[in-house]
Chains A and B, each alone.
Chain A
Amino acid sequence: MTAVAPVAAPAATDTVGTIEARDFSFWYGKKQALKSISMKVPPRSVTALIGPSGCGKSTFLRSINRLNDLIPGVRQEGDLCLDGNSVYDPSLDVVALRQRVGMVFQRWNPFPKSIYENVAYGPRINGIADEASVDEIVERSLRRAAIWEEVKDRLRSSALGLSGGQQQRVCIARALANQPEVLLLDEPASALDPSSTQRIEELVYELKKELTIIIVTHNLQQAARASEYTAFFFTGELVEFGQTEQMFTSPQEERTEAYITGRFG
């Protein structure tokens, strides 16, 4: 077996997709949902956010692309940075941020349009009007989301006619079409059957070679299987953050161990 020397990526891109929270706190009105979170997610990795319902993991995820902004009465303190720049910088263009940070939701939500149109949405708003380029992006994105083979003959039919697992992968393709550097997955497989879940996990494994993935999950086995890093949230605090293997074999915190072994949750 001949070893092929890996092509060194340009140094500048090495840190693209780094997410860092520094004493980040978040409030919904008077209720504090996140308490002084500090963590650094390395680029091109998979990080699982785990914890019981209402612990703040989804809030944290939705803070990264500022989707929480839509809720009246929210505010934050501290900082949350993408590639070293605060996403809450007043001069930052939220629209541009959301194009760099893709998101997939718990409940698959394709637009009531054709499969093709769903995936072409992002590129079109980025000003790509040339049909051939859009075609190419749509195909590449569907391939990256591992659904091209299943839908290539029915691109023009409604995305709503697909199975739940397929719709979710179309949603992943739709997010990928923007060429994001970060992909946020909010319990992407919680409403899917085991085989669809497995496909999504395999997909995550493939995609992390190119982008940073943060995945919220209630399924601890999924966190153990699919992620390299795990963050355990509890009542708005980040209890523990570390390598997944170490978290699951020898957690440093008692609460982490209690949650992982199923003593509460």
Chain B
Amino acid sequence: MTNARSRHLVSGAMIGLTYLAAALATLPLLFILFHLLVKGASSISLAFFTHMPRPVGEPGGGMANAIVGTLILIGIASAIGLPIGIGAGLHLAEKKTTPLAHTARFLADVLNGLPSIVMGIFAWEVLVRPIGHFSALAGGVALGAMMIPLVTRTTEEMLLVVPTSLREAALALGYPKWRTSISVVLRTALAGIVTGALVAVARIAGETAPLLFTALGNQFWSTSFREPIAALPLQIFTYATNAYDELHRLAWAGALVLISIVLVISLAARFVTRSRFGAPVD
């Protein structure tokens, strides 16, 4: 009797603890969102998106260059990270046991855990130093290199859950192997792969460290790949470490915009996973 009772008590306490942990896990994000809204929302206006930064002391001004710069950096990074990552993931899933697959899988895991500042140093060494100046391209390459392992591993995982029976169905119909991989396996896993890609984009959108000595940041309007370019995280960093209240407010607003971009991408990822044509084969 007492045994059963203490068992129930322990069970209840443990379940209660998991509730508490789950609630605590949501707290930081809610707190950040709340804080950003309070501090940043008042500074967000149309001008914030369309105007250039003004010199200190002049009121107003926006972050148009940083917003566009971040989008350009995401574009360069995706152009590098997505094709390589998805291609590598396809290789890992379809040729599981080749020596290359084993090596690539291990290195992708290592790369995933690499501090992002190291990626920045790498891009600096490879692209900034030889060329002689900072550039959007160097920043994009640093971010793209960060995306590769993320996209590779999620692509591989998504492909591995495609049932063997579908693969066999296509092959038994006389599909060549490469076409089976692309039009059946890859297509079936597409929703998952797109989600993985969007999550990777969201991850790198907010990275600051790899940009510090690659894209550098820019007070002026620039869309050139060869010039230093502004980026939201960099601008936030610069403004937040500045002494002027005006700039602090803009930094808060920039942070709010950045987190909104990430949030929208994450929501898009959710939407893609849900609204697919076929439910998973049970």
A interface residues (Cβ-Cβ under 8 A, vs B):
65, 67, 70, 72, 95-99, 102-103, 105, 107, 109-113, 121-122, 125-126, 158, 160, 171, 174-175, 178
Binary flags per residue of B165-196, CB closer than 8 Å to A gives 1, else 0: 11011111111100100001000100000000
A122 touches B173 (CB 8 A): yes
Q: In the complex, A100→B258 CA distance in Å?
A: 57
Q: Which 8 A-B pairs have the closest CB atoms?
A: A112-B278, A99-B174, A109-B165, A103-B172, A98-B174, A109-B169, A122-B173, A95-B174
Contact A158 to B277, CB < 8 A, known contacts A109-B163, A109-B166, A111-B184: yes
A107 touches B188 (CB 8 A): no
B277 touches A111 (CB 8 A): no
A113 touches B179 (CB 8 A): no
B281 touches A121 (CB 8 A): no
A113 touches B277 (CB 8 A): yes
Q: In the complex, A178→B184 CA distance in Å?
A: 18
Q: In the complex, A158→B174 CA distance in Å?
A: 22
Q: In the complex, A102→B168 CA distance in Å?
A: 12
A95 touches B172 (CB 8 A): no
Which secondary structure characterizes the binding site on chain B?
loop
B interface residues (Cβ-Cβ under 8 A, vs A):
97, 163, 165-166, 168-176, 179, 184, 188, 276-281
A102 touches B172 (CB 8 A): yes
What residues of A have a CB within 8 angstroms of the CB of B171 in the complex? 67, 70, 98
A72 touches B174 (CB 8 A): no
B179 touches A125 (CB 8 A): yes
18 A-B pairs besides A65-B172, A111-B170, A112-B276 with CB distance below 8 A are: A67-B171, A70-B171, A99-B174, A105-B165, A105-B168, A109-B168, A111-B166, A111-B188, A112-B278, A113-B277, A121-B173, A122-B173, A125-B173, A158-B279, A160-B278, A171-B169, A174-B169, A175-B173
Separation in Å of the A125 CB from the closest CB of chain B?
Answer: 6
B175 touches A111 (CB 8 A): no
Which residue in chain A gives the minimum CB-CB distance to B162? A112
Q: In the complex, A125→B179 CA distance in Å?
A: 10
Separation in Å of the B94 CB from the closest CB of chain A?
Answer: 11
Q: In the complex, A121→B174 CA distance in Å?
A: 10
What residues of B have a CB within 8 angstroms of the CB of A158 in the complex? 277-279
B173 touches A113 (CB 8 A): no
A113 touches B278 (CB 8 A): yes
Instruction: Determine which residue in B166, B169, B176, B276 has the highest number of CB atoms from chain A within 10 A of its CB, and name it.
Output: B169
Q: In the complex, A112→B282 CA distance in Å?
A: 11
A122 touches B166 (CB 8 A): no
A105 touches B169 (CB 8 A): yes
What residues of B have a CB within 8 angstroms of the CB of A97 in the complex? 174
What residues of A have a CB within 8 angstroms of the CB of B179 in the complex? 125
